Amino acid sequence: MSHEQKLRGFEREIESWKIRIKDANDRKTYDEVFDRQTLLAIYKLFSDGFFDILDFPISTGKEGNVFRGITRAGDYVAVKIYRLSTSTFRDLGKYILGDPRFKKAAKRFPQIIFSWAQKEYSNLERFSKAGVRVPEPIAVHRNVLVMEYIGNEYMPAPKMKDVILEDPNATAEYLLESVKNAYSRGHIVHGDMSEYNVLMTEDAPVIIDLAQAVVLDHWMSQELLERDITNLARFFRKAGVMIDEKEQLGRIRGGETATS
């Protein structure tokens, strides 16, 4: 089978999804996600052996969509596709251009979207090296990121917002320690920590959506850290866990050991 035939196969598969979608807005989203440039990027990663099948969609977000992929060995991966649209492009500059790691990043569209995908890949590596549980990054090409799939053969792991926590205190402590480790070991701040960006597994919570994360040298890092702690405090307050935001910020910035 030729490269063009395989690419057309991707297109037919995507068209079959769209036929089953009744909502016009959802169909428009798929049209925006699977443009020709994106199909070529998907095909490149497919050809390089990072996945053999692009399976069902896992989630839809403001920046793009995540799909489950299956490798030739039968393993699962997550394939995140960042939407190549000007509406996505508008809000990214402040996170990229203030990051010293991306001083040479293109400021024009769509190259800035490619930098955004590369930034999430780099951030996943940095969080992981700091001992924070995040999906392991596998590959990135243009606006497509391949990473570890979090879930089982039937469904992805649920988000923290969608579960009843068995031990809210332990979960809060774990996530606060993760924020501290990212800060003190990885010198990085997530910037969008909330119940929407934590997946719950049997082993431990997994933090996701790291594209907006910034290193401490970024001018917004301290503001984003404070927002992360405020978001966690707000969520866990509803579960009966009181988090002293000022105390936690001091602990994180001072690098003290975790306290329960």
The catalytic residues are: 192, 209
- Take residue 171 and report the two structure tokens written for it: 């979960």
CB 229 within 8 A of CB 179: yes
Question: In the β-sheet with 64-70, what is the strand arrangement from edge to edge?
Answer: 53-60, 64-70, 76-82, 144-148, 137-141
